[in-house]
Amino acid sequence: MKKTTFEELNISVNMRKAITDLKFTETTPIQAEAIPVLLEGRDIIGQARTGTGKTAAFAIPIIERIDLTNKNLQALVICPTRELAIQVTEEFRKLFKYYYGISVATVYGGQEIGRQFAALLRKPQIVVGTPGRLLDHMSRRTIQLDTVKFVVLDEADEMLNMGFRNDMEKIISRTPKARQTAMFSATMNKDIMKLMLNYQNNPVRIDTTDHQLSIPKIDQIYCDMQETDKHETLKSIIDQNDIKVALVFSNTKSRVDRIVRKLNNEGYSAAGIHGGHDQRRRERAMNSFRNGEVGILVATDVAGRGIDINDIDAVINYDLPRDDEDYTHRIGRTGRAGKCGKAFTFVVGDQFHDLMRIKKAGGLRIERMSIPRPIARPAHFDTTRPVQNEVARPIHNTTARPFHHSDTARPIHSSSRPTYSNSNRPIHSDSNRPIHADTTRHTMHTDSARPAQTTSRPVQATTSRPVHTTTPSYSRPRTNGTVTPQREQQSGHSFRSRY
């Protein structure tokens, strides 16, 4: 296909300046075919894979055809998720930065409705919103569609899958019949065609997904494994492929939370988004991912629809998507802006047949890869977190005495127990009892608090029993509580047998 530059399109100088600031020079296939048709005022049905610039394909014609002197609502863009609505609004603001007197408002569930009232009071010519919140404002009469000239259904296939068909029909039916309607989708089915034919006037069909279906710059790989191997495989793929920015898809909210918790505990920088999070938490996670504060974003399919980032190194399908069309949406998040990307899919058991069906239906090339083995952590991850499998601390030799909880604070004693003077410290109230060197007994627990003392007399060597060098006088019985030979004979206990 011949490449088209924005200079060749019939657009204003202000629009060209904004496009130049965004560093865009050549159009994508969907932009090259859709923009001229929409500038002519005709309806279109545009099919293009995710990440091919569909937003600019309808935003540029809308801005070019807005009447700046008219402060009524002129363009309505309907999106399936709040994240996608925010992305579309940001794209509009980038493109009309050199236009004066034009504004856009975003309405979606989860945000304080008072803030949306204030934005709508400023009379924006463009409103981007989700079906449920648009109907809410319509019932409150804070949004009136009788002046709308341009309606866009973005990601129409996803809105149908989410059950918004009735809401979409209610919204479109409230707009004037003399309007221009554009529908964009990554996939196409009979339900979409039937819906759009009821609300469009002789639409032009544009399909840019027919060249090698699609994803020529994305290496698609799958690994078959047990369910219990998924988490270790996820870490190995990130480490071995030097992936700095990764988008991980899971099918359930609880699994998203579990994956994020495990990754963070193991030193990775991860965040998660799903429908169970409030809007503030989801926006905080998305901003952290865009700013590079978080390297891994784990999401469900619904929440992931609004992720529009050009620098994603790889998409990892932790769970095989439940819908065949979701596979195309997921892997389309990488390989954007002319860059190469990678898509990994984990397959368990009979899911292999489901993946082969997706491969055959889309004409895709998906290669098999064996489960990678874990390797050392790369340097770009956070090294401040504790590393798992840490080598155990060496254990000191404690064969001379049993281990005690206060061992680390106790001084190391010699093999002989330190002795003290009888005159300074009586032992067991026997002031004249000789002190023996005892290698079999251990120091008391309070030894760690005692200051080191100099032994006043040498320790008497003994093999089994202490040898007394002096014989105490027994001329008179003692009254200080010590055992005398007389008492020893009366009590029948041996003086030395006690020790």
Please check whether residues 406 and 312 belong to one and the same domain: no
Please check whether residues 198 and 64 belong to one and the same domain: yes
- The tally of domains found in the chain comes to 3
Q: Tell whether 376 is covered by a domain.
A: no
Q: Tell whether 361 is covered by a domain.
A: yes
Please check whether residues 363 and 397 belong to one and the same domain: no
Q: How does pLDDT run across 281-312, given as a tens digit for each residue?
A: 888 888 899 888 999 999 988 766 667 677 88
Q: Which two tokens stand for residue 423?
A: 């005159």
3-state secondary structure of 382: coil
Please check whether residues 244 and 202 belong to one and the same domain: no
Note the pLDDT of residue 380: 45
Note the pLDDT of residue 59: 95
Note the pLDDT of residue 405: 46
Please check whether residues 87 and 166 belong to one and the same domain: yes
Note the pLDDT of residue 374: 67
Please check whether residues 188 and 222 belong to one and the same domain: no
Q: Model's pTM, two decimal places?
A: 0.57
Please check whether residues 257 and 280 belong to one and the same domain: yes
469 compared with 353, residue with greater pLDDT: 353
Confidence of residue 110 (pLDDT cuts 50, 70, 90): confident
Q: Is the pLDDT of residue 498 over 80?
A: no
Q: Is the pLDDT of residue 477 over 80?
A: no
Q: Tell whether 382 is covered by a domain.
A: no
Please check whether residues 141 and 240 belong to one and the same domain: no
443 compared with 2, residue with greater pLDDT: 2
Taking CA atoms, 427 is separated from 454, 482, 495, in Å, by: 17, 11, 15
Q: Is the pLDDT of residue 264 over 60?
A: yes
What dihedral do alpha carbons 166, 168, 170, 175 form, nearest 10°? -160
Confidence of residue 338 (pLDDT cuts 50, 70, 90): low
Q: Which two tokens stand for residue 323?
A: 């819908």
Note the pLDDT of residue 4: 82
Q: Tell whether 473 is covered by a domain.
A: yes
Note the pLDDT of residue 174: 94
Q: Note down the domain range covering 411.
A: 392-491
Note the pLDDT of residue 133: 95
CATH number of domain containing 267: 3.40.50.300
Please check whether residues 455 and 338 belong to one and the same domain: no
Q: How does pLDDT run across 140-176, given as a tens digit for each residue?
A: 999 999 999 999 999 888 888 788 889 999 999 999 9
Phi, psi of 248 (to 5 degrees): -110, 130
Q: Which of 205-214, 266-275, 380-389 has the lowest mean pLDDT?
A: 380-389
320 compared with 401, residue with greater pLDDT: 320
Distance CA(317)–CA(331), nearest Å, equals: 9
Q: Which two tokens stand for residue 154?
A: 């973005």
Average pLDDT, the chain: 78
Phi, psi of 154 (to 5 degrees): -95, 135
3-state secondary structure of 216: coil
Q: Of 385, 391, 320, which Cα lies nearest the Cα of 358? A: 320
Q: Tell whether 143 is covered by a domain.
A: yes
Q: Which of 14-28, 62-76, 117-131, 456-470 has the lowest mean pLDDT?
A: 456-470
Q: Across residues 126-139, what is the average pLDDT?
A: 95
Q: Tell whether 113 is covered by a domain.
A: yes
Decide which of 154, 186, 207 is a domain's last residue: 207
Please check whether residues 21 and 157 belong to one and the same domain: yes
Phi, psi of 247 (to 5 degrees): -115, 120
Q: Across residues 32-37, what is the average pLDDT?
A: 93
Distance CA(301)–CA(261), nearest Å, equals: 19
Please check whether residues 102 and 176 belong to one and the same domain: yes
Decide which of 207, 242, 264 is a domain's last residue: 207
Q: Tell whether 158 is covered by a domain.
A: yes
Q: Is the pLDDT of residue 258 over 50?
A: yes
Note the pLDDT of residue 466: 52
Confidence of residue 243 (pLDDT cuts 50, 70, 90): very high
DSSP state of 408: G
Please check whether residues 356 and 439 belong to one and the same domain: no
413 compared with 40, residue with greater pLDDT: 40
Q: How does pLDDT run across 42-59, given as a tens digit for each residue?
A: 999 998 877 678 899 999
Decide which of 335, 368, 401 is a domain's last residue: 368
Q: Tell whether 375 is covered by a domain.
A: no
User: E strand or H helix at 167, and its extent?
Assistant: helix 165-173
